Structure 1
Amino acid sequence: MTTAVLEYPGGSLTLTRPGTKDPSLRAWSAADELLLQEAFEYLTKAPGSRVLVVDDQYGALTLGLSAFAPEVMADSAQLSAALAQNAALNPDYAIPDQVFSWLYPPVGTYDLIVLKMPRETDYLAWLLRWANGALKPNGTLMAAGMIKHLPDRSVDVFAEAVTVQAVSRAVKKARLITCGRGEARLDVWPGVWKGYELGAEGMRVEAMPAVFAREKLDIGTRLMLPHLKPALESCHPGVRVLDLACGNGVLGLRALAQRPDIEMTFSDVSSQAVLSARHNTGVAFPEARPAFLHSDGIADGEGPFERILLNPPFHEGGVVGDHIALRLFKQAAQNLSNTGRLIMVGNRHLGYHKSLQRFFPQVRQLDANPKFVVFEAGH
């Protein structure tokens, strides 16, 4: 475990970034430092303010502002584990009892919302409209991000949704925007759901703004879909099948279309992905009773599964690579039945054939194109 020390107006924090041993990958960015500095100044002058931290990544904002007892909301299930790990390194700092998600969002209004800006334009637009409903009339929204990661049209997205009060100069390649409540609301915004028609089934698949490939079927999943039918044909009725990192649920939906007698589970690190998969399943298969898990991978005790379907993410917080896939492969191997199989698609250049062999004695290539490869792996 590699740790580093963050100095900020409230003191210092020893922080680690879960999932990596690379010392160059810190658990905070210059955007976190900007938010801590500005929020500390605001809250020192306004004691008793009700504070909400939104989409903190590894706990720097939550721990840094712990003296002001913030409530915390995050789309990603990663934050809870990261908070617990970093709280153990900083025993004098309290963490909240609960991390809210979009599955269970906080209620009421806030004097200050501290927002780590996402990379996705639509998700930023969604967040700003949600914040308008969660801010008190004279409340303040502070949003910051690394300039190279700011969504397209960020200036327009803010101008269309909130009242921009100040834009900071660039500090260590980060920028902070201070806003007041605007008039734009989610309930009349047409961008909440976007989707596409899924092949011959005539099934419409929709997703919320934080979900990968919500407007069109990504080409990796397209290559994998024809292999679901042969992969499921030999399964007995009632077997457990997991759509891991499910996104909008397209793999699990196709599996249910072909085998309505399976016990389907959808899991994703994003709460908006889980909501999207639940929405799509409810529309397409109202009689089905699938399970939905907001989880960073496969939690202990969730298995065993007879089939695990996976199109793994290959980037996280600006870092591109196979580190997420390797963790998911390991968890899949631990949670497959003795006769179970992992069916997955991945980018050809990441060399997943060798990675899979670290965890599975049997690995077979099912398909490939210039960009993607489909594999089956098992015990």
Structure 2
Amino acid sequence: MEQLCVPQGQFQLSRYPHREKDTLRAWDAADEYILNHLADEQIPLSGNILILNDSFGALSTALAAHNPAMMSDSFLAEQGLKQNLLQNGLEETRGRFLNSLETPDKPLDLVLLKIPKSHSMLEEQLHRIRPFVHTGTKIIAGAMTKLVHTNTLKLFERIIGPTKTSLAVKKARLIFSDVADLKLPDNPYPLTLDLKGEQFTHNHYTLSNHANVFSRESMDIGSRFFLQILQQEKVGSDEDLSIVDLGCGNGVVGVIATERFPNAQLHFVDESYMAVDSARINFQRAFPEREARFTATDCLAGLEANSADLILNNPPFHQQNVVGDFIALQMFKESRKVLKKGGALWVVGNRHLGYHAALKRLFGNCTLVASNKKFVVLKAVKR
């Protein structure tokens, strides 16, 4: 836990979830820049305030006295906000949370926006807040300079109005956008993806992908390879399997698993609200008579121990801008807990990531099911 010192006060902040030997802070220079700017310019903090993409609740905690709402697509961000409010002796009600599929309930007076890594997500968010901003709304966005591009500014200008940037401070930059009366472009999200003709399916599926879903415009090659192997190999019996699509994204892996195992019970899990909702839409469109569970959570948090026969996993190798295998390792550990005895975890990953060593250490076994020049498919069984 480290201390954020800004004009609004001193705050003890930590990232969520806590990881041993994690040296990263729960805020960045762009957060500091926004908070210093608010104080330096004496910007009024009365009225309705919305903060978007506040990764661990740093902005929301620092401004908690003004009762802001926070909007994010991340379950982890929601939990980080709650954790940091409590660590600083603040009530959870000081940080009202809206997930990325919700909208404000009244006009906005101040919008503070951390620029997301995904250009598509930024575009969708600007469309989402546009009906709630007016000529008196102050809109201040912030990011590290590597995330501020010409097309970022053009996006603000197309959807909000005239836009300018600040000088860079500590490699961070602010964006200021004035609300103008514009002829607005249509919101292109969710996108659709047609799976007709894919070798791994006998049916024709049309998938809906919200703006923050991974590989929303085309299927990623790792998932395509994974699905081909799952169709070829003996994965489990044809009995009533309990299957978890872990890190489900748009749910395509779970949808194809449902096609192969018509009696299975599916559970789609992701930390992204948009991913879980995309999976829900796609499953219900493909199998309108079937039921499944859809959960936004941290890896497998909240799932019952010894409850799953099969877990299918294409783990992410980054959290926001931080690259590493820490999420995959957490997924593997929790999978061992959630699997029944004899249940199996199937994983696809890049060859160089070395997942086989971690799986063998955790499960005591790991089988290389298939490989190509870039990916491996691995299986670990709970003994």
Task: Give your verdict on TM over 0.5.
Answer: yes
Distance across 1 between alignment mates of 2:319 and 2:124: 20
Structure 1: 5+ residue stretches without partners: none
Distance 1:242 1:92, change over 3 A: closer
* Distance change >3 Å, CA 295–CA 332, structure 1 → 2: same
Tell me what 2:30 maps to: 31
CA deviation after TM superposition for structure 1 residue 173, in Å:
0.9
Partner of 1:271: 273
1:353 aligns with 2:353: no
Residue of structure 2 in register with 1:69 after alignment? 67
The alpha-carbon distance between structure 1 residues 282 and 137, as it changes in their structure 2 partners (threshold 3 A), is: farther
Picking from 197, 204, 207, the partner of 1:205 is 207
Contact 1:119/1:150 (8 A) holds in 2: no
Q: Which shows bigger deviation, 87-96 or 154-163?
A: 87-96
TM-superposition CA deviations, 1:197-241 (whole Å, max 9, x none): 25142212230111110111111111111232444441412x221
Following superposition, the deviation at residue 326 of structure 1 comes to: 0.5
CA distance change for structure 1 residues 311 and 5 in 2, over 3 Å: closer, same or farther?
same
Structure 2: give runs of 5+ residues left out of the alignment. Answer: none
- TM value normalised by structure 2: 0.91
Question: Which moves more between the two structures, 170-179 or 244-253?
Answer: 170-179
The reply on whether 1:164 has 2:162 as its aligned counterpart is: yes
Task: State percent identity of aligned pairs.
Answer: 34
Deviation at 1:34, TM superposition (A): 1.7
Provide the C-alpha distance between the structure 1 equivalents of 2:247 and 2:214, rounded to a whole number of angstroms.
10
* Distance in 2 separating the partners of 1:89 and 1:356: 35
Q: Whole-Å Cα distance in 1 between the matches of residues 242 and 102 of structure 2?
A: 26
Q: 1:197 to 1:40 in 2, by over 3 A?
A: farther
Tell me which amino acid in the other structure corresponds to 1:324: I
Q: Is the counterpart of residue 340 in structure 1 residue 343 in structure 2?
A: yes
Q: 1: distance between equivalents of 2:74 and 2:55?
A: 8
Quote the residue 1:246 is aligned against: 248
Structure 1 length-normalised TM: 0.92
Count residues in correspondence.
374
Question: AA paired with 1:30?
Answer: A
Corresponding residue for residue 89 of structure 2: 91
Q: Is the 8 A contact 2:242 2:265 kept in 1?
A: yes
Q: CA RMSD in A?
A: 2.2
Name the counterpart of 2:366.
363
- 1:329 correspondence with 2:332: yes
Q: Which residue of 1 aligns with 2:153?
A: 155
Shift of 1:251: 0.3
For residue 362 of structure 2, give the secondary structure of its aligned residue in structure 1.
Answer: coil
Structure 1 residues 168 and 93, CA gap change in structure 2 (3 angstroms) = farther
* Correspondence list, 1:183-332, <5 A: 183=182, 188-197=186-195, 199=198, 200=201, 201-229=203-231, 230-237=233-240, 239-303=241-305, 304-332=307-335
Distance 1:163 1:285, change over 3 A: same
Distance in 1, Cα, partners of 2:67 & 2:251: 36
**How far is the alpha carbon of 1:324 from its aligned partner?**
0.5
Query: How far off is 1:97 after superposition?
Result: 6.1
Alpha-carbon distance, 1:156 to partner = 1.9
In 1, the alpha carbon distance for the partners of 2:206 and 2:133 equals 34
Once the two structures are TM-superposed, the CA of residue 349 in structure 1 deviates from its matched residue by 1.2
